[in-house]
Amino acid sequence: MDREKFCERLRQARLESGLKQESVAKFMNLPISAISIIESGARKVDVFELLKLAELYNKPVEWFLNEGKKHQKRRWYDKDPLVAEAIALMQIAPVKYKKSTAHAIIGFLKKGSLVKE
């Protein structure tokens, strides 16, 4: 993967997460201009920064490095396409909806006695 595609992935992940460069800069403890420079490809990202960005954007590190090929199915939820799709949609949902969606799912499972508390 070339640097241009990698930087586009970083930008895409930020936008999918519903975050502004200011929020990312604060989380990363960097100036706002650094995020812009990183996303433009003028500054490299070290491994530790990539790990933090992957955590913030709720994406596996492989997602940033993969050129559109399917990820190897290694996660427990990849075995069920419906569950995988639900989790993928939650990952790209705006941050403000993730928490309420998680609460709704937890409430549904507990109310229906589908899980033990």
pTM of the model: 0.58
Give CATH for domain 3-65.
Answer: 1.10.260.40
Which sequence spans correspond to the domains of the chain? 3-65, 76-111
Long-range contacts of 18-26 (CB under 8 A, 24+ apart): 18/94, 18/95, 18/96, 19/56, 19/57, 19/95, 24/53, 24/56
Average pLDDT of every residue of the chain? 84
In the numeric block, which tokens belong to residue 104? 């709704």
pLDDT in tens, 81-112: 787 788 788 878 887 788 888 888 888 877 77
